[in-house]
Structure 1
Amino acid sequence: MPPNKQAAPGGLIGRGAELGRLVRVLDAAAGGLAGVALVGGDAGIGKTRLIRELIELARRRDFVVLVGQCAELGDALPYLPLTDALRGAAAEPGGPVVAGLAARPVLRRLLPDSDAGPSDAMTGALAQQRLFGSTLSLLSEVADQRPVLFVLEDLHWADRSTRDLVVFLTRMLQRERVCLVGTYRTDDLHRRHPLRPVLAELQRLPLVTGVEVPPLADAAMAEHLAELGDRDGDRGGDRGSDAIDGVVRRAGGNPFFAEELFAACAESDRLPGTLSDVLMARVEGLSDTAQQVLRVAAVAGRRVDHELLRAAAGLADEPLEEALREIVSRGLLSAGQRIGYEFRHALLQEAVYDDLLPGECTRLHLAFAGLLTERGGAAAELAHHYAAAHELRGAVAASVAAGRRAIELGAPAEAHQHFDRALADWAHVEDAEALTGTTRVRLTLDSAAAAADSGDYHRAISQLKRLRQLVDTPELVAETNERLAYYQADMDETAGMLEAAHTAVAALDGEGESPLLARALATRARVLWDHAHPQEAYATATRALEVARRTGAADAETTALISLALFEEATGTPERAEELLTHAAAQNSRNLSINLRARFNRARVQYESGNLEAAAKNAEEGVRLARETGLTWSMFGTDLRFLQYLVHYVDGDWTTAEALANGFGVRVGTIAEAVLSSFALFVEVGQGRPAADERLRWLEPFWPQDDFVIYMARGLAAEQALWRGDPGTAWTHVEAVLATLKPFEAGSIRMAATGLWALAELAKDHRLTAGQTQALREQADDVLSRARYAATHGLSGERAQLGPEGRAWVARAEAEWHRVYGTATPEVWQTATEAFSFGFCYEDARSRWRLAEAFLEVGDRAKARAEWLTAVEIADRLRAAPLGHALAELGRRARFSAAHDGPHDGGPGEAREEQGTVLASLTGREREVLALVTAGNSNREIGERLFISQKTASVHVSNILAKLGAATRGQAAAIAHQEGLAPPPG
């Protein structure tokens, strides 16, 4: 076939380049690098044909293929394309997806006639996190057996939860053998279309390949139509080529338009003007009965079940089948065993639907609503049909039911929309309460909860503030204000938060104890703690615990126990805090988020107390619970994962830490993902890996958005800069981090220590003027004061006690401050080393590095070498390359040899003196100095080589001259040569 025909593999004409790009993503997935392709183009341009070719190719390569399609149903069924894909996979018994679904009831529940059993208490955001995690783990599990192609068609119609799922999978898929493909119409994406920002976000990711399907070239279009004519039979002999030329000119490169024009050309000498005219001309060529059936099918949507179509059309079997045979033979509908009938193209369904008369449209929607009601159809679909039929009573009932179903499925955004739609029509339905089994106030509370669960706290808070003006019973006043304070605390909106929390509790005074009172008290305790009222918070949490236990409010009991534990930890009794958190973790609250929070805090307290073994065990237990319940990516599931990583980073098991970090995405797109990703920098920076640079590039856009990301990412960027010999950049990072931290925050101590390291390196510059040196020392004084303040002050005033790591960082900061002033002694660095000996391997080695330097400065080579050897062993084991390089440089300059086993290492430049020589009176350090004098080094150069100050070097030289009886440095060098003391190498 000549090149100008641009045939793609498999006979697809004119789309070789586009299919080639998709095949490259498919190949990468087969090789273990997950990929995402977003295929865009105008309606009818050939996206579906292109994807069909890709699917056939994937099947030939033994891929597991999942295909799901979105539908235009107003507020579409949540996760409709995922449901569609899973339903198709479930129809193939024995396949890998079926086995995976068996272990994931949250996904089985999406399927019609599911046997997943009753839903648990998990709803809203937590259920969504579980569904997302389960989808990711299912794809990963299947991909372990065979590579996966997952296609989501027509994303321009996707519900928000589906869009969020696509974003989640795009960011999380890394090394899985998964190729994710989404298609969308570019001509449907108006300026405010919700898919626009999603595409803009995803197309920045290197994992994503954008494929824009352009109009088909004229030559390719002509070849395509000629092939179509050959397949369908002669269309008029010589007249066929003229018809093709005319169609090509008219079609504008749109294959679907061209095919419809070509079909119309065979039926009429006069071609319609627009695509809609073409489509309707073909429809009007049908019999009256067939046109009626097609109009009914168009109201159902892109697909329709045979029995539902039969009932809605009101036809007997024989005329219905004749009509359907006519429609299918004309290529307007296609038949499928699983779906009944499907329009050949969405544009055809839209054209037929748009041609309906208003009354006809209303009547048919109402008919479908009635039929779906009888058959137990999906509530979201019912709500769509009732709303289109302007039947408010049915629309309100169906919208409430659809919202409840969306909550169960983990689609809070759709639930909020359904609830809001019901609230908008509520006043027009007299028996709305009896019809829905709820009240307007309760529905507003549910709507606010769904908004908060979907991340729209502003909307939730706005709804609750308006609702406060309407509620009058103590219970509703309490619940409304408690939820308001809770959501405000979640988003750090302090205005009115304390007042709302107080109102919630006050409303129940005199009403007796209840689970609602326990919850209100627990929320009030949390708010009081956030407002720095620790004593009142403690008293309130104590009362919340008592009420919760007496009323059986398990969630409030767990929350109160956590609040009390945080108080005990802050006031210096971590043992009591751990005991309370152990009780909290054992409660097994119905709210899994609270369970995970209790487990996270227990492991965190153990970690901060220096009990690394217990922390590792309990963090692993919490991660396992999160994984088993599909909550790996929930807030506390994420917290537990980075705590597990942190424990192994500290205890020196960097192999395990690195394996855990494989799940920390580099190409992050949310704050939660950025926080998790930033933890991987600990090992990456410690090992000097280039991956740290890419991770920092992805994290940088989040610096203005989240203080913790700044603390983690910029703090470790500072360490990276220091290892690379750029203390100025390091200091810039430290200043930025300290500016975001409150003076009492313990994180200030570590940042201060890093900042003082940078200032100490800057102070070594011999070009500094006296004024510049003084300015650096004043900065060091300020930074050390900041560390000391954070070490002794907490949120509520005086800090009771720091954990072992906190105390170690204080010691490190003190030692680095001495380096700025040039007054660091072995005693100072010994204190820091001992402080990190609780189990923090890497920092232990870094402290020993400086301790070895300090011992060298006072001439104690034996102790210096011992500390150096220990640090080298740890750095080698951790593969901590930057520290290893620093230790190697120290060893070279000190002439240490790791292979020498004796207690004293003279090195190649140190002669072995015999008893009675003139050099016998010199100390080991003085012999080192004399060797450098012999080599012609100045005092400044001697100080740099031996890690001592210039002044100290001068004192050593003076002592040497006195002991040798030499008047000048030259005479001392001559004596050294006579005695066999050779200058050092290099």
Structure 2
Amino acid sequence: MSIHAVSPLFVGRARELSLLGDALVRARAGASSTVLAGGEAGVGKTRLISEFTARADDARVLVGGCLELGTEGLPFAPFTAVLRGLVRELGRDGVAALVPGGTTRGLARLLPEFGEPDKDGPEARARLFEQVLGLLERLAEERPVLLIVEDAHWADRSTRDLLSFLVRYQRTAARLLLVVTYRTDELHRTHPLRPMLAELGRIEWVSRIELRRLTRREAVAQAAGILEREPSPADMDLIYARSEGNPLFVEALLSEAGADADLPESLRDLLLASVERLPDETQELLRVASAGGQRIEHDLLSAVAGLDENALSRALRPAVAGNVLTVDGEGYCFRHALIREALHDDLLPGEHTRLHTRYAEALEDDLAILPAPRGAIELAHHWHSAHDSTWALVSAWRAAAAARKSTAYNEQLRMLSRVLELWDQVPDAVERIGGDRLDVLRQTATVAHLVGEYERAIALAGAALAEFDHDAEPIRAAHLLRQRGLTRYDLGRAGYIDDLRRAAELVPADPGRLRGQVLESLSRMLHRPGDLPEKLATAELAMEIGHQIGDAAIEAHALINLTWAGFGHSEVEAQSESFARARRIAQRDGAYNALMRCAISESDALEGAGRHERAAQVAREGVEEAAQYGLARTSGTFLSINLAEPLVSLGLWDEALEVVEHALDLAPPSPYRASLQGYAIDIALARGEFDRAEALLGSSRSVLSRGVFRDQNVLPHLCREVLLPRGRGQLDEAVEVAARALKERDLLATPRYSWPVVVAFASLLTSVASQAGASLLPRLRALGQELGAVGDLQRAHRLTFIAFMGPESSADARPFEAWEAASGAWAALRQPYAQAQCLVGAAKAALAAGDRREAAARLARARELAGRLGARPLLEQIDLFGRRARIGGADEAADGQPLGLTARELEVLREVTNGRSNREIAEALFISAKTVSVHVSNILAKLGVATRGEAAATAHRLGLFDGG
């Protein structure tokens, strides 16, 4: 396996690259400007500039960097570098010819090639500044100039003055873009660059960019590019925690040695450079602080360091001024976690043990010095780091309990895992914590499920089940089997029903809490139509037990099961009342899991009934609640799925994508990730972003292939498997997928998820002129007639299906009325995309009937809806139909562009007319060559020509780009 030194993928900087690209476009048009780009060391400023300059195309790129030479850099270093590069390119005389006034004595201060410099003094300095600006002006007359000054935090006074001068007077030089980079972490309170940046930031044509650290998902993409494979979630958790999303640190920490390997020496030197400039007493205090963690309270540091207030403040002040520590409330934080790690790694073994013991003893004396559960968790950490196994185990067990009370489930899992690690090192562990190892395993499995570590939860439950005789200890076995069954279901693993049925056999018959939990869980998982009587009976029994013993969680969960089973999508109000009752029961005892499931179930039921606004509201409130309960990664991301779905239905696609992006950043369990990505795929397909859709579909496909999932996961995925090849014009492949599905899948079991698939098949098969497609139509028609349709949403799908397929008898054919009924149903549900698609069908039917006026009206409304959504393929279909039928103003498309071309297609046509290749166009417009190819194909089709040359000739003939 190969490994790249740096990631071949450029991730997480699309916005910054776009801002720079926009600035360059303005510069080309004559509006010079400056961009100030800041970020901490390693965050990717140099990579950003490299990627940007590679796309600068026709601009002359001039690059100069400031040098670190003590407290002051080398005078005019970046401009000397720029001038030297110009001399190499143009020759001394070539550069001299560009200098205004015919004299280069000012430039002689930068390079000796230009002779003897002027005498010192204000006039000489002013002449140098004017000559540099004039040189840039002359260069910009030939072509746009991009001047990049890197590492301005090391700039000397002279460089800062010249740079400030150029920024203030650059508007005299048309087509000049200045980009200045600097390290924000070097800008301590008295740094001379700070006031300069503040002053320049107030100038109208100056903008600022600050590069943030990468999100976890972006860091995963970076790591995958380096390793040529996606790292394991466990490795990535550790890498991201250590790097905090700094791209350079991610690269440095990725190695064959693993995510927990020692810091590379080059990275250690970079991290400790700012520390080594501090006074000795400050460095010593920082070593003490490093054992306290990333954030340390003032009082705790004082107690451990043994310093009075004056001495502590005297030692801390240089660390804060030097931006190694930052003040955070009543404590201090290291600027970056790896600085603390590097300092901590430098502690000698005896020093390491002694410091952590001192921290543990200080916390034992006054645990209230830190808020719960942080105090208990840090105490456990320090005993563990002090290598005291007994107290490390005991304190970890207590910390786990404290974390659970605070719903800090990730921390609880970490503490329980430590108890398991230390178990064999403490002979009297059972007496110390009041429970045996199987109790710890069961609790750890439960918490692993809560935080979304599903694979681990199954492994822990399985390990515990293998260690004892189930018949001899039926209660313990039933607990573990229930836990494993629930987790297997969430992960799409087979065997979940077997686990729950076995648990029901083992649990005692008396109406106790465990019996109620097992029966409720079993009723929840019975989904097949033939299981309905058992599901209802089991749920009712569980609800009775929950009510009898006063367990709100069991009662509420069982009522949710009954609500799902007892109401259809047409009984929305009664169903909502039942969910409200379940919520009241759960709130009675703070049963947060039942509350979360109630929000999940109600939002899902509302969306299935076509009540999109209410579904979104319930899901959005549930996402907020999940964060409060510490369940953002599990229940919260599931509810994000239920929020994205109605947003997609309502045409709020950009908002839906924001919801998806935020949820994916939480690294949800893989089935949840696949469902979230599914809605991003739907939007990408509707907008013609087929490369993005294909990449996401591949990721979802790999998840679904590893488990046994329900129709709510599988059927939307099947729909996408048809729509992608169809969107790309690969109709035979799309028909093959449809044929296989009609043969292998039961599409009658779940109408809510089957109808979109059936409609997609109808749209495909009625539009292809192939024998394979035609042969599937009778089977599809029979399926549509047999498939039930309950509720407004399913009825809208059925009306659309009928409009596509038409009646069985041609005598009953009324296609316009069928399409009108379908579009009216979607309008009532406020689903603009489906409505627009049906309006196109209505327009075609109206035209076929000879009613051009009605056809034009339907087409105009469809274009309006599709334009708002950015549904490019549908817009192109509308324009093509309108142009061929000569209706609807098709020669002037939605954006006012000629010949039905979109704004982007017009840009591409301009470049084609200029004789550029696809690659050259891609670089000029900041898009991929494959996307350019798609645009060119669309342009040829819309213009009705066969070649790029004919397209260019058409553009010239029509004068599309005359005067511009």
Same fold per TM (> 0.5)?
yes
Q: Deviations over 1:475-527 (max 9, x none)?
A: 544433322222222223332x334323433444343x333332221101123
Instruction: Kindly provide the amino acid, as one letter, of the partner of residue 552 in structure 2.
Output: A
Point out which structure has higher relative CO (alpha carbons under 8 A, 6+ apart): 1
Q: Following the alignment from structure 2 to structure 1, what is the Cα–Cα distance between the partners of residues 844 and 214?
A: 61
Aligned residues of 1:753 and 1:809 also touching (Cα < 8 A): yes
The 3-state SS of whatever aligns with 2:526 is helix
Question: How far, CA to CA, are the matches of 2:562 and 2:487 in structure 1?
Answer: 21
**Aligned AA for 2:362?**
L
Which residue of the other structure, out of 550, 553, 558, is the alignment partner of 1:552? 550
3-state SS of the aligned residue for 1:529? coil
Cα deviation 1:909-951 (Å, max 9, x = unaligned): xxxxxxxxxxxxxxxxxxxxxxxxxxxxxxxxxxxxxxxxxxx
2:767 to 758, 761, 766: 761
Equivalence for 2:185: 52
CA distances 1:851-903 after superposition (whole Å, capped 9, x unpaired): 5544655xx424x753653453354245366555545555565565799xxxx
> Could you give the per-residue CA deviations for residues 669-713 of structure 1, whole angstroms, max 9, x where no partner exists?
765355335435656655xx4567545544543333248777557
User: Equivalents in 2 of 1:636, 1:423: separation in Å?
Assistant: 27
Cross-structure match for 1:193: 258
Whole-Å separation in 1 of the counterparts to 2:696 and 2:715 = 15
* Correspondence for 1:385: 382
| Alpha-carbon offset, residue 535 of structure 1 | 1.7
Equivalent-residue separation in structure 2 for 1:887 and 1:312 (angstroms): 73
Structure-1 residue corresponding to 2:821: 834
Residue 634 of structure 1 and its aligned partner are, at CA, apart by 5.2
- Does the Cα contact within 8 Å between 1:526 and 1:537 map onto a contact in 2? yes
Which residue identity does 2:759 align to in structure 1? A
Distance in 1, matches of 2:154 and 2:843, equals 58
Q: Which residue of 2 aligns with 1:229?
A: none
Which residue does 1:866 correspond to in 2?
A: 854
Number of aligned pairs?
669
Question: Which of the residues 693, 701, 713 maps onto 1:703?
Answer: 701
Q: For residues 682 and 837 of structure 1, do their structure 2 counterparts lie closer, same or farther at Cα, with a shift above 3 Å needed?
A: farther
Q: 1:724 to 1:488 in 2, by over 3 A?
A: closer
Q: Does 1:374 align with 2:365?
A: yes
> Which of 396, 401, 412 is 1:399 aligned to?
396
Task: Find 1:353's aligned residue among 347, 354, 370.
Answer: 347
Measured at CA, do residues 375 and 462 of structure 1 come closer, stay the same or move farther in structure 2, by a change above 3 Å?
Answer: same
State whether structure 2 residue 443 is matched by structure 1 residue 446.
yes
Q: Deviations over 1:300-342 (max 9, x none)?
A: 67898787677668x8979x9799989999x999999866899
Q: Secondary structure at the match of 2:249?
A: strand
Q: Note if 1:598 corresponds to 2:602.
A: no
What is aligned with 1:465? 462
What is residue 961 of structure 2 aligned with on the other side? none
Q: Tell me: CA distance 1:59–1:720, structure 2 relative to 1, closer, same or farther (3 Å).
A: farther
Residues 770-804 of structure 1: per-residue CA shift (max 9 Å, x gap): xxx44332133344455556x15xxxxxxxx5434
1:846/1:437 Cα in 2 relative to 1: closer, same or farther (>3 Å)? Answer: same
Q: 1:748, 1:787 within 8 Å by CA — same for their partners in 2?
A: no
- 8 Å contact kept, 1:868–1:887: no
2:540 counterpart residue number: 542
Query: Partner of 1:137 in structure 2?
Result: none
Matches within 5 A, 1:658-737: 658-665=654-661, 671=670, 672-673=672-673, 675-679=675-679, 686=686, 689=687, 694=692, 697-706=695-704, 712=716, 715=719, 719=723, 727-728=731-732, 730-731=734-735
User: Is the CA contact (8 Å cut-off) linking 1:826 and 1:855 kept in structure 2?
Assistant: no
Percent of residue pairs bearing the same amino acid type: 19
8 Å contact 2:438–2:464 — kept in the other structure? yes
- Per the alignment, residue 951 of structure 2 pairs with none
1:6 aligns with 2:4: no
The structure number with the bigger radius of gyration is 1
Letter in 1 for 2:850: R
Task: Report the Cα distance in structure 2 between the residues aligned to 1:534 and 1:894, rounded to whole angstroms.
Answer: 53
Q: Mean alpha-carbon deviation: is it higher for 880-889 or for 303-312?
A: 303-312
Give the 3 Å change call, closer, same or farther, for CA 351–503 of structure 1 in structure 2: closer
Letter in 1 for 2:581: H
DSSP 3-state at the match of 1:500: helix
Task: Give the equivalent residue in structure 2 for 1:938.
Answer: none
Q: Is the 8 A contact 1:541 1:560 kept in 2?
A: yes
Q: CA 1:598–1:372 in 2, change beyond 3 Å: closer, same or farther?
A: closer
| C-alpha distance in structure 1 between counterparts of 2:464 and 2:605, whole Å | 40
CA displacement, residues 441-479 of structure 1 (integer Å, 9 cap, x when unaligned): 433222112222343323322322343444756654443
CA displacement 1:570-614 (0-9 Å, x = unmatched): 79977764553343344444344532432343344344345x3xx
Contact 1:646–1:657 (CA under 8 A) maintained in structure 2: no
Query: CA contact under 8 A between 2:664 and 2:676: conserved in structure 1?
Result: no
Distance in 2, Cα, partners of 1:424 & 1:447: 12
Q: Secondary structure at the residue paired with 1:861?
A: coil
Q: How does 1:462-611 map to 2 (within 5 A)?
A: 462-468=459-465, 469-470=467-468, 475-495=475-495, 497-511=496-510, 513-529=511-527, 533-569=531-567, 577-589=575-587, 590-610=590-610
Shift in alpha-carbon separation, 1:162–1:663, aligned structure 2, 3 A = farther
Structure 1 pair 375–582 and aligned structure 2 pair: CA distance change class (3 A): closer
After TM superposition, the score normalised by the length of structure 1 is 0.55
> What is aligned with 1:86?
none
Distance in 1 of aligned mates of 2:317 and 2:876? 77
Deviations 1:815-861 (A, max 9, x none): 54469x9969733664464355332554455345435544655xx42
Distance 2:593 2:885 in 1: 55
1:823-972 matches, within 5 Å, as: 826-827=813-814, 830-831=817-818, 833-835=820-822, 837-838=824-825, 839-840=828-829, 842-854=833-845, 857=848, 860-862=849-851, 865-866=853-854, 869-870=857-858, 872-879=860-867, 882-883=873-874, 886-887=877-878, 890=881
Q: Is the 8 A contact 1:750 1:809 kept in 2?
A: yes
Q: Distance in 2 between matches of 1:581 and 1:719?
A: 35
Q: Is the 8 A contact 1:189 1:195 kept in 2?
A: no
Q: Aligned-residue CA RMSD in angstroms?
A: 5.9
Judged with a 3 Å threshold, the aligned counterparts in structure 2 of structure 1 residues 836 and 387 are, in CA distance, closer, same or farther, namely: same
Alignment of 1:297-312 (within 5 A): none
CA distance in structure 1 between the aligned counterparts of 2:246 and 2:557, rounded to whole angstroms: 42
C-alpha separation between the residues in 2 aligned to 1:601 and 1:22?
Answer: 58
Counterparts of 1:423 and 1:861 in 2: how far apart (Å)? 78
Q: SS where residue 452 of structure 2 aligns?
A: coil
Please tell me the residue identity of whatever aligns with 1:509. Answer: P
Q: For residue 837 of structure 1, give the secondary structure of its aligned residue in structure 2.
A: helix
Letter in 2 for 1:760: T
Contact 1:824 1:854 (8 Å CA) reproduced: no
The verdict on how the C-alpha distance between 1:749 and 1:255 changes in structure 2, with shifts beyond 3 A counting, is closer
